[in-house]
Amino acid sequence: MPRMVLLRGGNVYSASDPFATALLVVGERVAWVGGEGAAQTHVDSADEVVQLEGALVTPAFVDAHVHVMETGLARDGVDLSNCVSLAECLDRVVAHARSRPSEPVFGHGWDERSWPEARPPTRTEVDRATGGAVAYLSRVDVHSAVVSSALLDAVPAVLHADGYDGNGLVRRQAHHTARRATRDTLPPARRARLQRDTLWHAVTLGIGSVHEIGAPHIADDDDLRGVFALTRDEPSPEVIGYWGEAGPHGIAVALRAGCAGAAGDLNIDGSLGSRTALLSAPYADAAAESGACYVGLDEATEHVVACTAAGVQAGFHCIGDAAVRIAVSAMQRAAERCGTEAVIAAHHRLEHVEMIAPRQVAEMARLGVAASVQPRFDELWGGLAGMYATRLGADRAVAMNPFASMARAGVTLAFGSDSPVTPLGGWEMVRAAAYHRTLEHRLSVRAAFAAATRGGWRAAGVADAGVLAPGMLASYAVWEVPGELVVTAPDERIAAWSTDPRSGVPGLPELTPGAPLPVCLQTVVRGRTVFRRDGTPAPALASD
């Protein structure tokens, strides 16, 4: 008999009953949602009764774009994300290298734009800071890095690859080569430890599923399969994998590894911060550059056609407007060859889509192509003084990440962190979308929450998850909420918030910038508790 768990005495966020205070789970499914009176009838048959004591139960978050190993490396390495100068960056590298002698130095998060020196470290400076160790220090967007002489000696191919500047900075193909080499230095036991740490961190934040984004320029597919293996025996979120390699070989690898598709970081272009995102007009701060194109229209089209025929998801990383145009055009061409219904049925997806024109938004909606987007990119880089404005100019910058227009058109939005680019955190993603720096691009809190929960499942082609309603998968989180639950209006000119129960709209925590966020008390994946703040032990993270 499947185990029956009754949760009662709290607030259950469910569209099927906006006043629900109780939830019944049977096995891995939600069996019932309702009020206290009806809950009493299930008490005697339940194997466990959980007294919520006013806590909030919601669908667990889904992070639709994660790099599990690299997140572990960033958490384990030297944090360069809030350095205010080149000197501080190098000081942190020195301290880290001294604390771990004879080890490679991994660092993440530097951003030279706000430094007084206005430049990244040089190879000579990194060599001096690390004492000559192998070192890889990634920029905040993870599309460029600075490497040490020891790494170049170990992987001389970097020296001759496109994008090496001769002074330690690697972009484009040189970065892909250096990034891959960095991962290859890690013994299997350490890889498993770093992956385990990331997955455990995710469940402590109420994340019930992550989309692991693998690709050959990042690591072999055994790295991705290693993440899957951990989830079979240890408390973790549900992992849905993607393999970013084009063509029949890429599809075969994706299927062999158990992925949902040959998609994700199949890069058409790079990033704006590293000036490798593909633009239709030059960068505002570098008139000779328009970005990089790694996959052209013909190759992209053939990939979508092949994935559609194989019944797997296709998709691409596309950030710049020219890259998004290639990706959407490839979907259109595939629909002409395979039929629109076949393309819709395949649940294709695009990652990032930060610069998108209205016509392409409409085509994504028509073809059922989901957008896996990162709301905290706007928080990090938006605004008239942010990186977008620096790289693109103000006019193009204010059009970035148009979440509201995509949602209005009917495009499925799935929220992700692109961790380690931005940290894991579901409520943080919701808040960033609801308080987008450009008012017309903002989503309501409810719409943003749906994109951070159900949207991730829909983007993976899973229809029976992300909502607490009878018959749906029981992947949920229990939260301690500071303050009242509120119904935030999508337009702040109407009202800041409402607690009026007559609206019949289930409330969510207040997410005004600066307000304290909910604390996760429990995370449940398919009916199985994978985290409980009051006692579930963490996996053994320290042993290699």
Q: Give 10-residue mean pLDDT values along the chain (544 residues).
A: 94 93 97 94 94 97 97 94 95 95 91 92 96 93 93 93 93 90 85 95 98 93 92 93 97 96 97 96 97 97 98 97 98 98 98 98 98 97 95 97 98 98 97 97 97 98 97 98 82 45 76 96 97 75 41
Q: Which two tokens stand for residue 91?
A: 């000081």
**Predicted TM-score (pTM) above 0.95:** no
pLDDT at 537: 62
Residue 161 to residue 145: CA distance in whole angstroms: 14
Ordered structural domains, the chain, with CATH: 4-61+467-532 (2.30.40.10), 66-184 (3.10.310.70), 261-459 (3.20.20.140)
Residue 543 to residue 493: CA distance in whole angstroms: 54
Instruction: Report pLDDT digits (tens) over 487-525.
Output: 876 555 333 444 455 456 789 999 999 999 999 999 999
H or E stretch covering 198: helix 188-204
DSSP letter string, 204-239 = HTTEEEEEEEE-TTT--HHHHHHHHHHHHHSS-PEE
Single-letter code of the amino acid located at 270: G
List the alpha helices (DSSP H) in 278-434.
Answer: 297-310, 321-338, 340-345, 358-366, 375-381, 387-392, 394-397, 403-409, 426-434
Q: Are 28 and 527 spatial neighbours (Cβ–Cβ below 8 Å)?
A: yes
Counting beta carbons within 10 angstroms of the beta carbon of residue 542, is it exposed (0 to 12), middle (13 to 18) or buried (19 or more)? exposed
Q: Are 507 and 485 spatial neighbours (Cβ–Cβ below 8 Å)?
A: yes
Sequence-distant (≥ 6) Cβ neighbours of residue 266 within 8 angstroms? 215, 244, 245, 246, 250, 295, 303, 315, 316, 317
